[in-house]
Structure 1
Amino acid sequence: MSRAFVFASESVTPGHPDKLCDQISDAIVDRMLDEDPASRVIAECAIASSILFLSVRQASEARFDAADLARSVISEVGYTEVAGFNARDCTIMTSLQTLPGAHQQRLDVSLLADEGALDGVVASNHVTAFGYACDQTPQRMPLPVVLAHRLARGLDALRHEPGFEYLLPDGKAQVAVSFEDRSPKGLYSVTVVASQRSAAGPDAAALERLLRERLVEPCLADGGPGLDPQTRVFINPEGPVIGGGPALHSGLTGRKTAIDAYGEYARHSGAALSGKDPLRIDRVASYAARHLARNVVAAGLASECEVQLTYSIGLPGPVSLQVHTYGTGRVREERIREQLEHLVDLRLAGVVRRFGLQGLPRAHDGRFYRRLAVFGQMGRDDLDLPWEREDLVDMLKAETA
């Protein structure tokens, strides 16, 4: 990568069709784990104009109406009386399948307290997952995606304020940042796409002025280089977006993996995180790798760190752990790798136990994974995420001193 470059990341609001699918899928994960922490489930959703298809494969003792739960999420997101797609009128098709040998596939949660039993919980899929952290922001995340999430969250909040009722739940924000030597230097451009219920909303010029004053400027006033006269600001650059949501474009669970991770600034496994119980190795490994990378940066061992974890089918722990510090390491990468392997149990069941992943829905009013499904699954400072805790810092400093 050249010394000077521009990098852009995007985020979307809860009403974007892909994120609506993620929330429905994770609402099902929440409900199953809330009722039965031993549940195993994969829930996938596809949405288009007036129709939603939901596929659930599960081994669980939880009992609920998946279609009713989907309508509840659609309504809470804001699709109530919207033409073309709303909670009341949309057609919902479901495919619900109980996995063969369902009782044997459920996780015996008591095994997590038995050290000798952890090797019996093995990966059912192969995955190479990447965790990343840097010192660009307090969240140890790349600046472009942090700012994009901030704008998307602000856009979603704005439509609930008086005078902005014409805004729909579907929106998008993109932020491009200028870098020199991998350090942020300025805001190159900011783009906001907001959908309206109808053409009766404000004209393009008025909407641009309102969103710039009430959204863009407040959201970017601190926590980064800030707007300057050279920053390009675009509001609905292709013209008014009328209708929006599934009536305008389709959605699919797991299609926004870059938004869930690092805004494409760093590598990720590419596998969907939403819609999977927290014993699925692609979800677990992504959280574990992020936890390690964040603690390496927080401990001051590097300004930038990528951790790679590779798991193979039938084995309880990773077959490979690699550390890359992009030349910013203050300790040899091999030394960091050795200490991470020594300090943390990276077996699948060990990570589930350390983070308490099976019990998180019960501890958060049955809505943990659904909340996690929007505005990124890494670097969140509005949720107490166990993989974001900097609880290895003192040990890493001591071991590498």
Structure 2
Amino acid sequence: MARNNYTFTSESVSEGHPDKVCDRISDAVLDAFLAEDPLARVACETFATTNRVVIGGEVGLTDQEKLHEYMGHIDQIARDCIKDIGYEQDKFHWQTCEITNLLHEQSAHIAQGVTGERGDEGAGDQGIMFGYATTETDALMPAPIQFSHAILRRLAEVRKSGVEPVLGPDAKSQLSVIYENGMPVGVSSIVLSTQHLEEMTSDQVREVVEPYIREVLPEAWITDKTEWHVNPTGSFMIGGPDGDAGLTGRKIIVDTYGGAAPHGGGAFSGKDPTKVDRSAAYAARYLAKNVVAAGMAERCTIQLSYAIGVARPLSIYADTHGTGEVDPADIERAVAKSMDLTPRGIREKLQLNKPIYQRTAAYGHFGREPEADGGFSWEKTDLVDTLKKAV
């Protein structure tokens, strides 16, 4: 039996967090290749530490002879990302950090697995992917992660606009959300650690950030009982890769549902959409969101599984967590009827062969507004009628 009264905690990290710097660079590299070749296959990893960024991985192009030509842009792509994030520290500066590019041609064996022996496009790897949706927020996302993201996005806005120039790029937020009768009603604790560019006490930092936190959270959620922990360890002036090394793909729970739903294990950033770690996770979120938007359940988890070189999913699983108006087995059948879940079918339905990924690298891949150029297409609810007819 599902619990209705409890406290659940999720965290988010800002675009200046060391791991998110790496996610951003990896996705920017992916976007650059997709802009030149929509069929590019990219698996890009980034490592960052004091005054150094290392980029590695594999790239496959329709015209592989152009790979060397495109490689000349990687250095500037990384610097542009670091500059936009806001790093101009002595030991991590967009102009002076050393960038090493180790990207190389994609393995022919991986390429043949994706192409498939029969010429049909197979999955880029084996694996399991999960999607989730819930009615507890307008975005059909879990409240703790959605509002943790929102706090950091708001602080980034006022930092970049110059309204709060004392704030630095590196930050983390964490909310413990109180649930009653299965819905969020308040926060028992708020944790925020943010880099600052001048000497400040924890109390002084709180004076800066508290108005924005209150602006983002529902008014009734903060009470006299809410605990505040703002920069609880004191000074936080050295941030980003100078303070702690970063690596692509280390914030997978931040990227998805904040721990409120399962994660298949694979990271997203730096991977082109033939990699089902990314595309099938987007498809699973799309399906779960449309199931909930169709009124079939208040909560829904969708799992998809794949084998490398095999086009169709090996299994489709649905769980409505006791909130369903429709039997989960019927949802599974409806999902299979309503969308082509081969890698090619997912890419075509969600229009994933576009340079739309750099913007996903911070503040979550889910719970965002669909954009005119195809960004966050998996957040649309345009499959509702199709699913209803398929049940």
Alignment TM-score > 0.5, same fold: yes
Match of 1:68 among 76, 98, 101: 76
Deviations 1:93-128 (A, max 9, x none): 2212112459977999xxxxxxxx997000131111
Corresponding position: 1:85 with 2:92: yes
**Runs of 5+ in structure 1 lacking a partner?**
109-116, 362-367
TM-score under structure 2 length normalisation: 0.91
For residues 251-330 of structure 1, the aligned pairs below 5 Å read 251-330=246-325
Aligned residue for 1:89, secondary structure, equals: coil
Question: Judging changes above 3 Å, is the alpha-carbon distance between structure 1 residues 163 and 140 closer, same or farther for their aligned structure 2 residues?
Answer: closer
For residues 21-170 of structure 1, the aligned pairs below 5 Å read 21-60=22-61, 61=66, 63=70, 64-80=72-88, 82-101=89-108, 120-162=120-162, 164-170=164-170
Corresponding position: 1:194 with 2:194: yes
Deviations 1:228-271 (A, max 9, x none): 22111221111121121111111110011011100111111121
* Matched-pair contact (CA < 8 Å) for 2:58–2:107: no
Aligned residue for 2:93, secondary structure, equals: coil
1:175 Cα offset (Å): 1.1
Q: How many residues align?
A: 379
Question: Judging changes above 3 Å, is the alpha-carbon distance between structure 1 residues 148 and 66 closer, same or farther for their aligned structure 2 residues?
Answer: same
Question: Judging changes above 3 Å, is the alpha-carbon distance between structure 1 residues 103 and 134 closer, same or farther for their aligned structure 2 residues?
Answer: closer
> Which amino acid in structure 2 is aligned with residue 301 of structure 1?
M
CA distance in 2 between counterparts of 1:226 and 1:118 reads 56
Aligned residue for 1:144, secondary structure, equals: helix
* Matched-pair contact (CA < 8 Å) for 1:305–1:324: yes
Output the aligned Cα RMSD.
Answer: 2.2
For residues 343-382 of structure 1, the aligned pairs below 5 Å read 343-358=338-353, 360-361=354-355, 368-381=356-369
Match of 1:203 among 180, 201, 204: 201
> Which amino acid in structure 2 is aligned with residue 85 of structure 1?
F
* Matched-pair contact (CA < 8 Å) for 1:40–1:106: no
CA distance in 2 between counterparts of 1:9 and 1:162 reads 29
1:130 Cα offset (Å): 0.6
> Which amino acid in structure 1 is aligned with residue 190 of structure 2?
V
CA distance in 1 between counterparts of 2:56 and 2:367 reads 29
* Matched-pair contact (CA < 8 Å) for 1:195–1:242: yes
Match of 1:173 in 2: 173
1:31 Cα offset (Å): 0.3
CA distance in 1 between counterparts of 2:358 and 2:282 reads 16
Question: Judging changes above 3 Å, is the alpha-carbon distance between structure 1 residues 126 and 287 closer, same or farther for their aligned structure 2 residues?
Answer: same
* Matched-pair contact (CA < 8 Å) for 1:79–1:87: yes
> Which amino acid in structure 1 is aligned with residue 164 of structure 2?
F
1:177 Cα offset (Å): 0.3
Report % sequence identity.
35
Match of 2:386 in 1: 395
1:155 Cα offset (Å): 1.3
CA distance in 1 between counterparts of 2:289 and 2:368 reads 12
> Which amino acid in structure 2 is aligned with residue 5 of structure 1?
Y
Runs of 4+ in structure 1 displaced over 4 angstroms?
A: 100-108
> Which amino acid in structure 2 is aligned with residue 274 of structure 1?
S
For residues 210-221 of structure 1, the aligned pairs below 5 Å read 210-213=208-211, 215-221=212-218
> Which amino acid in structure 1 is aligned with residue 193 of structure 2?
V
* Matched-pair contact (CA < 8 Å) for 1:175–1:191: yes
CA distance in 2 between counterparts of 1:342 and 1:382 reads 24
* Matched-pair contact (CA < 8 Å) for 1:57–1:97: yes
CA distance in 2 between counterparts of 1:105 and 1:157 reads 44
1:382 Cα offset (Å): 6.3
Question: Judging changes above 3 Å, is the alpha-carbon distance between structure 1 residues 133 and 357 closer, same or farther for their aligned structure 2 residues?
Answer: same
1:162 Cα offset (Å): 4.1
**Runs of 5+ in structure 2 lacking a partner?**
none
Question: Judging changes above 3 Å, is the alpha-carbon distance between structure 1 residues 234 and 398 closer, same or farther for their aligned structure 2 residues?
Answer: same
Aligned residue for 2:279, secondary structure, equals: helix
1:164 Cα offset (Å): 2.5
CA distance in 1 between counterparts of 2:290 and 2:161 reads 38
Aligned residue for 1:45, secondary structure, equals: strand
> Which amino acid in structure 2 is aligned with residue 4 of structure 1?
N
Deviations 1:312-355 (A, max 9, x none): 12210101001000000011111111111111111111111111
1:276 Cα offset (Å): 0.6
> Which amino acid in structure 2 is aligned with residue 389 of structure 1?
K
1:206 Cα offset (Å): 2.1
Match of 1:112 in 2: none
> Which amino acid in structure 1 is aligned with residue 334 of structure 2?
Q
